[in-house]
Amino acid sequence: MKSHTVPVALRERLGNPGAAALTEMLDTHMRECIEFALDKSAERFERRLVEEASKIRVDMADLRRDLSDQIAASRFELVKWNFAFWVGQLVAIVGILGVMLRGR
């Protein structure tokens, strides 16, 4: 970190101990300001991260619900068409048996 230099006019007025104390005070103040800014930035970042993570969780829950609805609809369609196929097979077998038994 860059140390502050005290201008000559101010150094003459304050003296060497006063100029050193002023430099130390300014350095301390600058460090505190930087720490404060970093803390506030970190807090904002964490808060924003939590908000975005919550939005993602909600979106994932919606997506999961939509997918489960689609899967349930697909299963219903599959069972419906299987039932239609089974009925068709039953009718075909009964027809073939009917033709075979009439021939006797």
Task: Give the torsion through C-alpha atoms of 65, 70, 71, 72, to 10 deg.
Answer: 90
Q: How many CB atoms lie within 10 A of CB 7?
A: 9
The pLDDT score that the predictor gives to residue 85 is 96
- Please write the tens of the pLDDT for every residue from 52-104: 999 999 999 999 999 999 999 999 999 999 999 999 999 999 999 999 998 77
For 15: left if phi > 0, alpha if psi spans -120 to 50, otherwise beta; the answer is: left
Confidence at residue 62, expressed as pLDDT on a 0 to 100 scale: 95
Predicted confidence at residue 9, as pLDDT, reads: 86
Neighbours of 19 (CB within 10 A): 19
**In this structure, what is the dihedral angle of CA atoms 95, 98, 103, 104, given to the nearest 10 degrees?**
150
**pLDDT tens-digit map of 7-20:** 888 888 889 899 89
Quote the pTM value.
Answer: 0.53
The residue type found at 37 is: A
